[in-house]
Structure 1
Amino acid sequence: MGLKLFLKENIFFIIFQLLVDLFILSLYWLDGFRNLDTAVYSIVISMVLIVSFLAVRYTLRRNFLNKISNLPVSMDDALQKNAKTAEHLQTEAYLQELYRHYQHEVQNLYAKQNRQEKFLNQWIHQMKTPISVIELLLQEEEIDKSSIQEEVDRLKRGIEMVLMSARIEKFEEDMQIEQVNLKEIVTATINDNKRLFITNHVFPMIDIDENITVATDSKWLKFMLGQFITNAVKYTFEPNKKVKIYVEKDGTKTVLCVQDEGIGIPKSDLSRVTKPFFTGENGRRTGESTGMGLFLAKEICGKLGHELVIESEVGKGTIVKVVFS
């Protein structure tokens, strides 16, 4: 197989050499073949040189040609290093680097797939709780509509979470950057979560100038704010506490802050709260955390060109900041 491939690779070179020999013969023919021995000698020497050259060339390329002539059984077969020429050494280096990129992409793909499967399984398990509560409430003689609505809201937040998690894989197709009025977005998000505030006896406070605008995607920003607010309320166990949402200026940058008066995040967990499925001590206390909210927020900020900063102190609360460039 290697020799056959070598001949195919050099067929034009062989044809060219034959044409050169015919050209030499034509010159002797035009000269009347006065030096026939010289003509024959020239052709023989030419053929010996070309055959010797091809033989040496084939010897150097044989291992490489044999390798690429047979389909590999495994990646180890394809990546064996047995080239001897500069061209083939560079080809093998190219294949090694290509394989490295391939492995990296495959690992990322498997990581995303495993993350989605784990998140979906965890999400389905958690969604069983509000469904079970609703079923129990419906069995009572007097239906408590407010309690049912609370569980429906939990279902809505869970569905929104899983939808956004699916959409983030094709984020660029779903992104629309425009100038967004921060106060309008914050107010709308607060209104969407007003029952959550009422149920947990936590009060929102908005301190944002009506004229402040930032370049971002309103839908994704609203989703992030919903995660920050949900966490702020969920981890505020004492009644009559506040969640303050305000804007700071850091030079030319606009910083949107969501500050709560909850239990705070331990220092040991603070650097890991944006990792997928990390719930930490607080998540284990509530039993409702998927560990995906802040991870998705971090991913969204990165894709939008924003920065996510989280500051917290146990017993005093947490501040989540989105820095707009």
Structure 2
Amino acid sequence: MNSVKLFLRDHVSFIIFELLLVGFIVILYWLDGLRNIDTAIYSIVISLVLLTSFLVFRCMLRQRYYKKIVQLPTAMEDALQKNAKTAEARSVEAYLQTLYKLYQREVQSLYASQKRHDQFMNQWVHQMKTPISVMELLLQEDEVLDKKNVQEEIDRLKRGLEMVLVNARLESFEDDMHVEQVDLKQLVTMVVNENKRLFIAKRVYPAIEIEDNLQIASDSKWLRFVIGQFVTNAVKYTFEANKKIVLRAYTEEQQVILHVIDEGIGIPKSDLSRVTKAFFTGENGRKTGESTGMGLYLAEEICEKLGHTLTITSEVGKGTDVMITFKGELYD
């Protein structure tokens, strides 16, 4: 019954038009003096019969469609059933199918994002237990507190907290991004100074080979995190003392290219294509036991959002070269 009411409401303008048309025919016969009254009655009856037959046929043809949209579905499959008989109903069904696919993609994206966040937080909380446990052990000792060891653990906590904040802000990256002219040498020097205790602890030495006043267009805050991630990785995976980490930048075809080159253990060829995947730690990550598998993933995501290109090459036993290309962003 509800479907019939909906059909009548949907066709009320058409019914009014047809009745006006019949009325117009009656007026024509009246103006003619009603000389052919039988013909007039016959025309009116035929018009009404044809109108009623058309509406009944159309209502029967669209009955399934109207029942489908009148009754609230209990499952998604009910709304997506394909039983249309008219072109309009088929178009509506195609629209609903497309809408459902878009909805599914968004849900899957949100689910993957939430799953990644939960997994990252679980790993991060587990890893942050280590520096906290170390500091607790240092506090329990009767000897004079070793400030150097405490500072190292605090630095590890700081790096972990920074990574959590970056992961949280990545979802609203566009709102937090501010592109400006950045002095690349000054930024790289700042990153090196922020990690000087790590360099000293590992007995690894930085070498900055960047000309003065080399300007690029980027977001200094996000780029500092990216370069910092490359630097800490380079130091962390350089197990031998007295090695160098070279930070080199130059211009090439109106592009600025930055290299972070270490002399560490290198990345196995089988892992190289997957090091930027979320939570991938690989063979090297298992050696240190400190990797969350998120550092390079976040770095690549940030580079992509900033319009930079990230390339990683490596050879086991010789080291790794991480390269960022700032496309078309050279300033004189």
Task: Pick the TM interval, shorter chain.
Answer: over 0.9
Q: Deviations over 1:201-245 (max 9, x none)?
A: 110100001121111100000000111011000000011111100
Q: Which stretch of the first structure deviates more once superposed, 182-191 or 134-143? A: 134-143
- The question of 1:7 aligning with 2:8 is answered yes
* Paired position in structure 2 for 1:204: 206
Unaligned runs of 5+ in 2: 328-332
Unaligned runs of 5+ in 1: none
For 1:304 and 1:5, the matched residues in 2 are separated by: 52
Q: Which stretch of the first structure deviates more once superposed, 139-148 or 228-237? A: 139-148
Q: Deviations over 1:40-68 (max 9, x none)?
A: 11111111111121122222212111111
Instruction: Specify the SS of the correspondent of 2:207.
Output: strand
* Paired position in structure 2 for 1:163: 165
For 2:255 and 2:92, the matched residues in 1 are separated by: 48
For 1:131 and 1:310, the matched residues in 2 are separated by: 33
Matches within 5 A, 1:87-102: 87-102=88-103
Instruction: Specify the SS of the correspondent of 1:247.
Output: strand
* Paired position in structure 2 for 1:45: 46
Instruction: Specify the SS of the correspondent of 2:11.
Output: helix
Instruction: Specify the SS of the correspondent of 1:20.
Output: helix
Shift of 1:269: 0.3
Matches within 5 A, 1:147-296: 147-296=149-298
Q: Deviations over 1:74-99 (max 9, x none)?
A: 11111110112122212211211111
Instruction: Specify the SS of the correspondent of 2:211.
Output: coil
For 2:309 and 2:267, the matched residues in 1 are separated by: 19
Letter matched to residue 122 of structure 1: Q
For 1:251 and 1:78, the matched residues in 2 are separated by: 56
For 1:31 and 1:169, the matched residues in 2 are separated by: 77
Tell whether the 8 Å contact from 2:188 to 2:227 is kept in structure 1 after alignment: yes
Instruction: Specify the SS of the correspondent of 1:116.
Output: helix
Shift of 1:33: 2.3
Letter matched to residue 136 of structure 1: L
Instruction: Specify the SS of the correspondent of 1:322.
Output: strand
For 1:293 and 1:116, the matched residues in 2 are separated by: 14
For 1:186 and 1:276, the matched residues in 2 are separated by: 25
* Paired position in structure 2 for 1:30: 31
For 1:274 and 1:248, the matched residues in 2 are separated by: 25
Count of aligned pairs between the two proteins: 325
TM value normalised by structure 1: 0.98
* Paired position in structure 1 for 2:309: 307
For 1:308 and 1:161, the matched residues in 2 are separated by: 19
Instruction: Specify the SS of the correspondent of 1:319.
Output: strand
TM value normalised by structure 2: 0.96
Name the % identity. Answer: 64
Q: Deviations over 1:3-51 (max 9, x none)?
A: 2211111111111111222222222233332222122111111111111
Tell whether the 8 Å contact from 2:210 to 2:250 is kept in structure 1 after alignment: no
For 1:265 and 1:4, the matched residues in 2 are separated by: 70
- The question of 1:69 aligning with 2:88 is answered no
State the superposition RMSD in angstroms.
1.1
Instruction: Specify the SS of the correspondent of 2:62.
Output: helix
For 2:52 and 2:302, the matched residues in 1 are separated by: 64
For 2:203 and 2:323, the matched residues in 1 are separated by: 24
* Paired position in structure 1 for 2:330: none
For 1:250 and 1:209, the matched residues in 2 are separated by: 14
